Amino acid sequence: MIRHLLRLVWNRKRSNALLTLEIFFSFLVVFAVGTAVSFAAMAYRRPLGFAWQNVWAVSADDQGNHDRIGGPGDARVDPRAAVIERMLGEARSLPEVEAAASMAIAPFANGSMVSAWTENGREVSSEVATTTQDLDRVLGIQVVSGRWFEPADAAQPWHSVVINRSLERALGGGESMVGKRLRTPDETETEDRVVGVVEDFRRSGEIAPPGNIFIRLMREGHPEDVPGGNLLLKMRPGTPAAFEETLVRRLHGIAPDWSFESKPLEQARDSALRSRLAPFAVGVLVAGFLMLMVALGLLGVLWQNLVRRTREIGLRRAVGASAADVRRQVLFEQLLLASLAMALGLVLVLQLPLLGLTSLVGTAPYLAGVGTAIVVILTLTLLCSLYPAALAARLEPADALRYE
């Protein structure tokens, strides 16, 4: 049966070539979209590593009006540091605020700082999140080994850092990194020492690829460190939105020339989700449109083949083939054609892990994308073949023999 179908497909290779090519590219598109959607769904279910509820983000911008000034011992001091620290102190004094911290790049915001270095002959890269001491209280970060930052860390000559599990595995293998130096600094850098490990801290949000990150303490009052201009405030439950006006007014009292923008972190999360999901929605629409084109093309080709093969089908019926036999032949021919096209696609897709191109999304989304593409293409082919197969099965031998 299979040999006979292969011979039939081969004999009509010219008429089937375009359809095979169309199914081949459709398979690749569905694989790409399926992998992306699977990655997004799996990433969304993973914990963020922090809590965004009842947290406000206040962006403080000095409008570029600052200059670094000389401090004691000719140390170079940034005047923004003292201003931001005063803002944090003012925010902490408000009864509506439970805790306050600052970051260079707030959660769910675009952009990132990345550091890369060589460790034991391997290239390691990691996102860097700079923050002040109370970020764990603001975002509810849980340390799984070691500890969070303490006030005594501000007096140390090094930077205290907290890393995630992924970075710990990349650096220490199976060993704990707590108490160890994160990397070898150059002559102009301050040493980083690991004081704690968190399971994860996905600053960019739910639809972000897994990766390494370390959180570096910006030592308040230290001339080398400037706290970030994004103030994160843990608000007491039930704090009204009208409090934003009071908050901004108090901050303006400290820095009249600065501009401030305050919004709940929930809004930043929703905006980040929409912007990150937009490409997925576009991909799904493109894949759906392509599947529609494939379905119409498949129906047209099958209809044309049915008309051309009327005498062949009638001859089969005349020599004893049943309607079910004819129906199965048409269905299996199309499924075989789709399988050949998908086999070509699989040859290409299976090269991706060998080239290391699946490391960004992971193995599970990659396999889900392959499975989704196979199921979608086979289902579409089967559905488009049902009606032409039914028409072929109803063909009477006498009608076929009279056909010209």
pLDDT for residue 310: 64
What's the CA angle centered on 55, arms 39 and 126, to 5 degrees? 45
pLDDT for residue 400: 58
What's the CA angle centered on 312, arms 307 and 21, to 5 degrees? 60
DSSP 181: B
* Percentage with pLDDT > 90 across the chain: 34
* Percentage with pLDDT > 70 across the chain: 83
Query: Which tens digits make up the pLDDT trace of 131-168?
Result: 998 999 999 999 999 999 998 998 888 899 999 999 99
Phi, psi of 77 (to 5 degrees): -120, 135
pLDDT surpasses 80 at 393:
no
DSSP 297: H
pLDDT surpasses 60 at 6:
no
What is the arithmetic mean of pLDDT over 36-49?
90
Phi, psi of 225 (to 5 degrees): -110, 135
- Cβ-proximal residues to 362 (8 Å cutoff; 6+ apart), any chain: 39, 42, 210
Query: Which tens digits make up the pLDDT trace of 299-329?
Result: 777 776 666 666 666 666 666 666 677 677 7
pLDDT surpasses 50 at 70:
no
* pLDDT band, residue 74 (cuts 50/70/90): very low
Phi, psi of 247 (to 5 degrees): -60, -50
Question: What would you report as the CA-atom Rg of the chain, rounded to the nearest whole angstrom?
Answer: 31
pLDDT surpasses 80 at 130:
yes
Phi, psi of 206 (to 5 degrees): -65, -40
pLDDT for residue 241: 87
Better pLDDT: 78 or 171: 171
End-to-end CA distance of the chain: 29
Better pLDDT: 248 or 404: 248
* Residue (of 158, 157, 272) closest to 216 by Cα position: 158
What is the arithmetic mean of pLDDT over 45-65?
88
* pLDDT band, residue 11 (cuts 50/70/90): low
**β 143-146/113-119 pair status:** unpaired
pLDDT surpasses 50 at 71:
no
* pLDDT band, residue 112 (cuts 50/70/90): confident
Q: Which helix (H) or strand (E) holds 24?
A: helix 13-45
Q: Which of 24-33, 61-70, 101-110, 337-346 has the lowest mean pLDDT?
A: 61-70
CA 123/CA 38 separation, integer angstroms: 28
- Identity at 152, one-letter amino acid code: A
* pLDDT band, residue 54 (cuts 50/70/90): very high
What is the arithmetic mean of pLDDT over 208-215?
87
* Residue (of 379, 354, 382, 349) closest to 367 by Cα position: 349
What's the whole-number average pLDDT of the chain?
83
The model's pTM is: 0.77
3-state secondary structure of 226: coil
Q: How far is CA 384 from the centre of its chain?
A: 34
Q: What is the DSSP string of 342-377?
A: HHHHHHHHTHHHHTTTTTTT-HHHHHHHHHHHHHHH
pLDDT surpasses 60 at 21:
yes
In terms of DSSP H, where are the helices of 225-350? 243-254, 265-308, 310-318, 323-349
pLDDT for residue 367: 93
Counting DSSP H helices and E strands in the chain, the numbers are 12, 12
Query: Which tens digits make up the pLDDT trace of 224-234?
Result: 788 888 999 99
Q: How far is CA 26 from the centre of its chain?
A: 23
pLDDT for residue 292: 85
pLDDT for residue 78: 65
pLDDT for residue 399: 61
Query: Which tens digits make up the pLDDT trace of 330-374?
Result: 777 778 778 888 998 999 999 988 887 787 788 899 999 999 999
